[in-house]
Structure 1
């Protein structure tokens, strides 16, 4: 369900997310150049950096993407975590795909990175993502007021987190 991004995937993302209807009302920030993503794909496959991406597929059909970004609650060397985001094509929304993709991404990050924390920020009015985050195992931590500029106004965000499961106690 998650796989590395291809150049053809980026072409499809450009098409699907090109206008306000594509990404939906909570992810449209205006027209954005995508050359940087293509450069990062060529340089490192959009993996192994501070900004990363995997494609979401359903039965080998491209359904969208998940991204993760390094964030810090203090010094990056000691307090970094991952913040994740998801963008599904309209035809694949409302089917539980986002919940499953976010759950898989959290498992991937806890398996392949040393992060102790993975977080999601979503618009306070985005009920679908709030439900998906909670079903994926995230816990609501609180409201971040007027944190995101979008569509000509400031929007409150809700902060969710998933913490690395505690391992068995040392013998």
Structure 2
């Protein structure tokens, strides 16, 4: 049986669920736990722009219409931002949604969304060197492994190596298909 994975704008109910589910290491998973953080800035931002701004954004991941997590993007640059900007993406799935292809589908959909609605040539993501599940998900979503960033992330009291992945607008799964028949929604 396949599941219908989709993205939609965040709702107030989603924020409540995210605050509850992502408030502990068990909820985020060990590779995404950076300690306790305040939520009032996120709520204020939600009230201002629905978490959809010109330099970053957040969407809710759904599976068969049920909230399964969130995807985020923010502007990055490999040189001067005016000429070398790209998007960096991140994902947080509820524990029950992990290991079922949801991350693969959601990250593919987010990259397609960013290529369709922004001028970005590059979308990138990174994950812990030991997070093999996320590395597989990114590869299945159409991202290419570029290399290891040594001691790039401080978490759990020490520095961790990260693996960098990218997708380019012209890469096979992300090429312009406007002249082709409409594709089916992402199925996991």
TM-score between the two structures when normalised by the length of structure 2? 0.87
Q: Which runs of 4+ in 1 moved over 6 A?
A: none
- Aligned position for 1:50: 55
**2:7 matches 1:7:** no
Q: Structure 1 stretches of 5 or more lacking a match? A: none
Other structure's SS at 1:21 match: helix
CA shift, 1:67, in A, is 0.3
Per-residue Cα deviation, 1:147-170 (whole angstroms, up to 9, x for no partner): 0000000000000000011669xx
Q: How do residues 9-158 of structure 1 correspond to structure 2 at under 5 angstroms? A: 9-158=14-163
CA shift, 1:18, in A, is 0.6
What is the root-mean-square deviation of aligned Cα atoms in Å? 1.2
C-alpha distance 153-5 of structure 1, shift in aligned 2 (>3 A): same
Other structure's SS at 2:13 match: helix
TM-score between the two structures when normalised by the length of structure 1? 0.95
Q: Structure 2 stretches of 5 or more lacking a match? A: 1-5, 178-188
Per-residue Cα deviation, 1:72-120 (whole angstroms, up to 9, x for no partner): 1111111110000000000010000100000000000000000000000
